[in-house]
Chain A
Amino acid sequence: MIPVTPIIGLSVGMLLTAFGLALWNGFRQIAGLDRAAQVISWIAGGLLLIAFPLLWSEAHGHYTNALHLILMAAVAAPSINRRRHFPWSDAIRMLPALVLSGIGLTLVAENFRGAHYTDLLALPAWVIQEGLLAQPLTISLAEPSIPLGMAFMLCDGLVARVLGEALGTLAHPAATPSRLFDILYVLLTLLVGAITLATLRQHGVVWDGGPAESGLLGAWLAWSAAWLSPRERPRLRAALIVTATLLLVLLALKG
């Protein structure tokens, strides 16, 4: 079996190096430093993506907090070449990937101690079960089904990237974020809408007051507020996006 901890450790080291180079570029703008930081961040992201399935198989299909964190960091790590560079903003954009992979490494090194397990593979998909329970559609946020879990994983991955972009905008308002926030908002809206409609069909009420449902609805409302916030005030908008994304990260880790 390929040991996963050294791979994650190497990625964290590379992300730290990329972050250091980006910071150095902020102080003294040396030609090529930003390019080097970018290449290193891509390699770190690639290594984290390799670590993800290895970690999954080591966890025997359990979707752990460490997996959450590694996936988020893997998607957030690669920094994209932009036409205009904002050195401080570029450095800060790398922070979420660095922090998340660092915490992920700590959890993996502790050999999953204290990690929250959700037995994803042992659970049924969006099923209208045959025989017993013929009528209800089984959707539970506490024990997500596989497609629902996959959708949440996709959101997880993109959330950290949006967080990085928003932090970059906070550092330098001219460094406008990409359309990723809008894409993620659409994805979240569809996800929350599907869950509420399914809950309505299954339980006859739109919201049964469970903590997972309340948290998801609350986070979605925060995302809606961020989406509605004025684009002409990028710092305020970025602050709202940071709040909304942090809420989703916390919810994902709370399980």
Chain B
Amino acid sequence: MIVQTPSASRRRDLWRFIWQIVTGNGLLVTLLLAAAAGLLAAAWLPQAPTADPEAYARWFSEAQTRFGKATQTMQALGLFGVARSFGFRALLALLAGTLLLRLVERGDRLLSGAARREWGELFPLLAHGGGLLLLAGLLVTHLWSWQVEGLIVQSGERLPVPGTKSWVALQEDASKVTHSPGIVVSVEALGPGVRVSAADGAGNALPLEQAAEADLHTELTLALAKDQHFAIPDAQLIVQLTPQNGRPAGGQSPMLVQIYHYPPVQLETETVIKGDAELRVDGVTLRFISRPYAQVTATFNPGMWPTGIGIALAIAGLVGSVVGSTHQPRTDEED
């Protein structure tokens, strides 16, 4: 016969109490509310950009104008970078721990026969398992994923993603973006671009210069994500190309071509072209061949599959749990 001492019994009661707290709905509700508060703070407060120093400077100036002296305190509290803050990450870790313990508790109840072995009992398990898989996927994303934003690739070009072995390409007719396997590429913007060359009256190619002291080329490929300039030193011409951004800016959008003679700098001609075109100025023939560009973001995320499967399982589990709970008999008054 086993006789329990009072202190052993008290200790067991304490552990049972703690177990009930950590696997109960109260803690999960509190954690979910805290995570909701964090995300809503991220939605309402401007989050600091990290990749672009210029954007950060602009954001900082705007934040100081808007929040004044409180900016420093808010920044210290991580309110301008909620997803990156230690507090939010700790919250997600706690949430994962709670989900794991609840999964163990529910699984144990089901296996030990304490809960009815029905299909309906599987839905909460699915929801918890899905939630855990989703959080594990997010952890893998945080640890091993990378993202390169603002890559500009022109039609017919295959561009290596800096610092990686991956590549991105835009087909010749700019109809499709292709990329190396294992990455996800999303198109952020599309716009016009040109391959330009110049020839004198005899048909000889003239060198083009994109900036002072830059190398001379007989052909330049320019993406018109912004205004572009180049000079034809032998003909003393400067050419400015400006995208005519009507909405939506597509690959075949028109662009304004302004050609200046120097010195002194004076406008020779200006015209709007679309697609392939040829212009003749001072005996120089400028040939423009349309080369649309795509601005893309390349992402490598080994946590994509677990995250996606986790979301699908969690949705199935939650919807099943809610539907299951609505089929339970109600004792209270119904509408």
Contacts and interface: CB of A to CB of B under 8 A. Distances in A.
Contact of B312 (A83, A197, A207): A197
Contacts, number: 149
B145 A205 contact: yes
Contacts of A219: 36, 40
B32 A182 contact: no
Listed residue (A80, A136, A212) with the most chain B CB atoms within 10 angstroms of its CB? A136
Contact of B311 (A177, A200, A204, A214): A200
Interface residues of A, number: 51
Instruction: Give the size category of B's interface with A.
Output: 35 or more
Given A132-B251, A221-B32, A214 B40 contact: yes
B39 A215 contact: yes
A136 B184 CA distance: 9
Interface stretch (B103-111, B259-267, B278-286, B293-301): B293-301
Given A179-B326, A206-B137, A193 B174 contact: no
Interface in A189-210: 189-190, 193, 196-197, 200-207, 209
Given A131-B175, A209-B83, A211-B42, A200 B32 contact: no
A134 B184 contact: no
Interface stretch (A52-60, A95-103, A225-233): A225-233
A190 B312 CA distance: 10
Nearest to B171: A134
A221 B42 contact: no
Contacts of B145: 204-205
A29 interface: no
Contact of A132 (B28, B47, B250, B323): B250
A217 B315 contact: no
Contacts of B190: 132-133
Interface of A: 80, 82-84, 131-136, 174-179, 182, 185-186, 189-190, 193, 196-197, 200-207, 209, 211-212, 214-215, 217-219, 221-222, 224-225, 227-230, 240, 247, 251
Interface of B: 25, 28-29, 32-33, 35-40, 42-44, 47, 82-83, 134, 137-138, 141, 145, 147, 174-177, 183-187, 190, 250-251, 294, 297, 299-301, 304, 307-308, 311-312, 314-315, 318-319, 322-323, 325-326, 332-335
Given A179-B326, A214-B39, A228-B29, 7 more contacts: A204-B184, A206-B307, A214-B82, A218-B37, A218-B40, A222-B36, A229-B29
